[in-house]
Amino acid sequence: MIRLVPRTDPSPWLAVISPVAAIVATVLAGALIFGLLGYDAAESLYHFFISPLSRIDRITDLVVKACPLMIIALGLVFCYRANIWNIGAEGQYIIGALAAGWLALSFPDATSPLLLVGMMAIALLAGAAWAAIAALCKTIFNANEILVTLMLSYVAALVMDVLVRGPLRDPMAFGFPLTPMYPDAGLISRMPLPGLGYIGQLHYGVLIAFALAPLAWWLLNRTLPGFQVKVMGSSPRAGRFAGFSQARTTIAVLLLSGALAGLAGMIEVSANIGQLQPNVSFGYGFTAIIVAFLARLNPVGVIFAGLLVAMAELGGDNAQIALGIPKVVTGLFKGILLFFLLAGATLQHYRIIWQPRLQQTQPSETSS
């Protein structure tokens, strides 16, 4: 019988090695799956992991793809460090994008850059407000935050769908469920690279993602609220003895996570789409969960994890175009990666012991 026994002194090296081992295991498992499906494994892995880095425009697209993943994952890091499981960043992302879009469409003739600032502010507030529902249900009714945040994601998607097909619909869209385009003041501009000019879809919103990562690291590791989050996540009883409040921590991390997810939604729509439509997320909120765990819940590690997962996403698109590999294989890849990540995290704190069934029954037989 296989048993998991807690390690008395977990090695810090396992925390470093386990994500690398998870990636290697995912690549090997992917190669096996491609082979079983009848595709050339080496060529498939090339399109997944090398092709997105083969040209400068593809690298900029990689950064753009990673931008919302990194912003959302940074908020999730705080939740998971506090042992609060926010699975509904997808819904907070959608509500943030919806609120920012509503503000942009309310001022179609605006030319002031303050419109963009206002859109960011209302996206932060809307995402936080949506997460506050789960926070209040958790603190008042002790409702499971996993179920509440997850169900609210589907509610948010339906709210977006109803509004885009109804009050916000563009009468000139020929029947398509689309809103009018944002005014220019509500769009995030493309960003030129020094000496190279405008490449791909690179925009100024990515700077926000890269700036938030060290800010989140400082907040988590150099401030009292960050210390409170870590203590309440690792040892709630010790935290209560220290005077920390479980309810305030729960509300704070969920509001922060929701706000960042809302901001990610605003940036993605304003920079890459320019109008609201029924589907504005493409699963960013769920994929960011993998990013947070791949980063070992480290805000700086979120940068590298976000780029890696974005590379797998774009690589899946390349493989689909070049080899005809079904898009669902990309989702399978992410699932395998998450499985190995969680397995690595488990083995970091537990060791596997094989105990024959005969040895287990001996003590009871002796006592009888």
Q: In angstroms, rounded to a whole number, what is the distance separating the alpha carbons of residues 300 and 312? A: 20
Which residues are within 8 A (CB) of 258 and not within 5 positions of it... i.e. 6 or more apart?
A: 75, 86, 89, 92, 127, 128, 129, 130, 131, 132
Taking only the tens place, the pLDDT of each residue in 6-63 is: 777 767 777 777 778 888 888 888 888 888 888 888 888 888 788 888 888 889 999 9
List helix spans (H) across the chain.
12-37, 41-45, 56-81, 89-106, 114-141, 145-165, 205-221, 224-234, 236-241, 246-268, 284-294, 299-323, 328-349, 357-367
Question: Is the dihedral angle over the CA atoms 179, 181, 182, 183 positive or is it negative?
Answer: negative
Q: What are the beta bridge partners of residue 198? A: 192
From the number of C-beta atoms within 10 Å of its C-beta (0-12, 13-18, 19+), residue 117 rates as exposed
- Mean pLDDT, the chain, rounded, equals 87
Taking only the tens place, the pLDDT of each residue in 110-130 is: 888 899 999 999 999 999 999
The stretch 177-206 carries a mean pLDDT of: 89
Taking only the tens place, the pLDDT of each residue in 234-252 is: 888 888 888 889 999 999 9
- Residue 76 pLDDT: 96
Q: Is the pLDDT of residue 209 over 70?
A: yes
pLDDT-based confidence at 366, cuts 50/70/90? very low
Taking only the tens place, the pLDDT of each residue in 307-362 is: 988 888 888 888 888 877 777 777 777 778 778 877 877 777 777 777 776 555 55
Q: Is the pLDDT of residue 232 over 80?
A: yes
Which residues are within 8 A (CB) of 109 and not within 5 positions of it... i.e. 6 or more apart?
A: 183
Q: Is the pLDDT of residue 365 over 70?
A: no
Query: Of the given ranges (152-166, 260-274, 280-294), which has the lowest mean pLDDT?
Result: 280-294
Contact 265, 94 (CB under 8 A): yes
Contact 73, 291 (CB under 8 A): yes
The stretch 124-153 carries a mean pLDDT of: 94
Predicted TM-score (pTM) of this structure: 0.86
Q: In angstroms, rounded to a whole number, what is the distance separating the alpha carbons of residues 100 and 117? A: 10
- Residue 359 pLDDT: 54
- Residue 228 pLDDT: 93
The stretch 292-314 carries a mean pLDDT of: 88
- Residue 225 pLDDT: 92
Q: Quote the crossing angle between the two packed helices 246-268 and 89-106, to the nearest 10°.
A: 50
- Residue 368 pLDDT: 41
Q: Is the pLDDT of residue 367 over 70?
A: no
